[in-house]
């Protein structure tokens, strides 16, 4: 997702569709997550909270901007809220940095002296109120931009201790959420390299094992398998749930009817035959509205049918993750249609919005792009880089042509066999 949108997306909200006092059970397959930043559990709905995706796309519609975390906890369907994002791993003073859009920033909050780490302790009461209602609150690391990654395993292990001290069961003078103790972490890694993540998760698992309560570790990989950044780590250490992003990719929900594209079965096979956690659950990550992602959005009725089919076919299915809470609420409570599908209630919930350039898509497989014969201005457009991650809508120049990405991509050459890039014509400048 574009930097402005991902950093404005909300944190994950896992919504329990059953009794609001039930605690989250990762082993269930009637879960639904909605990203409230981004938020997306039985029956649960998972949403990210923190990035205000809708507000980023609709700055004048103040009534539907992301609300305080306690606002979403008042909804008895909410079970878990991953807060997004911790978007810088190392910064001034040797501590990470977080970005929570309108909820906590340098305008309404200060930073800890000598660091760039925001003091968001004003959110502590809301977080604790959520937890008092049996809801899980975690911190999501990464996002589509920022400074993330490790140089080696030693650095990764040290960072695990830092995360434990700042957000979980450890102690520090620079805890961003004050006295609030979060319930785990989520890894949404979309850049950098694979180095260190196995050591990071393994070290954190060890610290959690000695904690005084249950902690969770989840991941949100892209749907292309294996994931470019977390693939080896997912194979070597235990994750409680994996929220696969079936959007901004060729394997997105809009290609559900294309057997050569939709690959939930591949992730199901991984869960059953490779994952160190035999009970790991796979979630369908989906956009909660047409403006929530570049591609992958499907209307409530279509998505309800997909959920019911996947739920009956794959035992690893854990629920749905929606990106994000702000988008779901603004889109006629799209999450309620998802909840109904997960619990067998049927119905379409929100009205079906028209398809848009930003995210509207049908379930019909997309035809191969046809190169443009015209000319386009490449002025100000950066050249394609093999080491750069791109998402749907990003533009690059390559071999004298302007190209637009159809979905998330890494290392796919414009004009290559992957069919990721649309040729917009030769550069006029």
In this structure, the chain runs to a length of 429
What is the helix (H) or strand (E) element at residue 420, kind and residue range? Answer: none
What secondary structure letter does DSSP report for 123? G
Is residue 292 within 8 A of residue 360, CB to CB? The reply is no
Tokens of 366: 């997309």
* Residue whose tokens read 């009461």: 125
Please tell me the number of Cα atoms within 13 Å of 355 on its side-chain side. Answer: 11
Tokens of 217: 């570790």
Is residue 188 within 8 A of residue 141, CB to CB? The reply is yes
Q: What are phi and psi of 82, to 5 degrees?
A: -75, 125
Please count the other Cβ atoms lying within 10 Å of the Cβ belonging to residue 137: 29
CA 75 from centre of chain = 21
Is residue 115 within 8 A of residue 95, CB to CB? The reply is yes
Residue 286: strand pairing partners: 322
Q: Is 49 helix (H, G, I), strand (E, B) or coil?
A: strand
Q: Are strands 409-410 and 389-390 parallel, antiparallel or unpaired?
A: antiparallel
For the question of residue 38 being annotated catalytic, the response is no
Catalytic residue among 39, 52, 190, 240: 190
What is the helix (H) or strand (E) element at residue 189, kind and residue range? Answer: strand 184-189
Q: How far apart are CA 289 and CA 271, in angstroms?
A: 28
Question: What share of residues in the chain are helix, strand, coil (percent, to 5)?
Answer: 25, 25, 50
What secondary structure letter does DSSP report for 7? T
What secondary structure letter does DSSP report for 93? G
Q: Which residues are annotated as catalytic?
A: 190
């Amino acid at each position: 997702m574009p930097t402005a949108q991902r950093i404005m997306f909300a944190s994950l909200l896992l919504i329990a569709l059953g009794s609001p006092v039930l605690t989250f059970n990762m082993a269930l397959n009637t879960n639904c997550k909605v990203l409230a930043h981004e938020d997306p559990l039985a029956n649960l709905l998972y949403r990210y909270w923190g990035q205000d995706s809708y507000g980023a796309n609709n700055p004048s519609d103040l009534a539907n901007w992301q609300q305080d975390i306690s606002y979403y906890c008042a909804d008895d369907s909410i079970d878990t809220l991953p807060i997004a994002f911790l978007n810088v791993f190392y910064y001034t003073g040797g501590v990470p940095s977080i970005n929570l859009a309108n909820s906590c920033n340098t305008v309404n909050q200060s930073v800890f002296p000598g660091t760039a780490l925001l003091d968001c302790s004003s959110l502590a009461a809301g977080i604790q109120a959520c937890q008092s209602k049996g809801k899980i609150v975690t911190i999501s690391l990464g996002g589509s931009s920022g400074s993330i990654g490790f140089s080696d395993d030693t650095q990764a292990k040290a960072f695990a201790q830092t995360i434990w001290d700042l957000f979980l069961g450890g102690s520090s003078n620079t805890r961003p959420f004050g006295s609030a103790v979060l319930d785990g972490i989520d890894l949404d890694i979309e850049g950098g390299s694979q180095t260190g993540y196995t050591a990071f998760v393994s070290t954190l698992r060890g610290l959690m094992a000695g904690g005084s309560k249950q902690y969770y570790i989840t991941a949100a990989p892209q749907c292309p398998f294996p994931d470019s950044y977390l693939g080896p780590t997912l194979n070597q250490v235990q994750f409680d749930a994996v929220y696969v992003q079936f959007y901004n990719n060729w394997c997105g929900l809009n290609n559900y009817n294309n057997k050569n594209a939709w690959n939930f079965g591949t992730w199901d096979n991984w869960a059953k035959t490779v994952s160190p956690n035999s009970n790991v659950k796979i979630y369908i990550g989906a956009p909660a509205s047409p403006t929530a992602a570049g591609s992958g959005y499907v209307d409530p009725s279509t998505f309800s049918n997909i959920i019911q089919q996947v739920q009956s076919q794959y035992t690893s299915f854990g629920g749905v993750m929606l990106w994000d809470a702000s988008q779901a609420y603004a889109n006629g409570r799209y999450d309620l249609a998802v909840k109904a599908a997960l619990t067998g209630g049927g119905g379409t919930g929100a009205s079906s919005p028209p398809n848009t350039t930003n995210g509207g898509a049908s379930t019909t497989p997309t035809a191969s792009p046809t190169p443009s014969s015209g000319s386009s201005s490449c002025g100000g457009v950066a050249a394609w880089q093999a080491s750069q991650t791109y998402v749907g809508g990003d533009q690059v120049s390559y071999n004298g042509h302007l190209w637009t990405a159809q979905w998330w991509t890494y290392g796919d050459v414009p004009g290559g066999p992957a069919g990721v890039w649309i040729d917009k014509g030769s550069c006029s400048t």
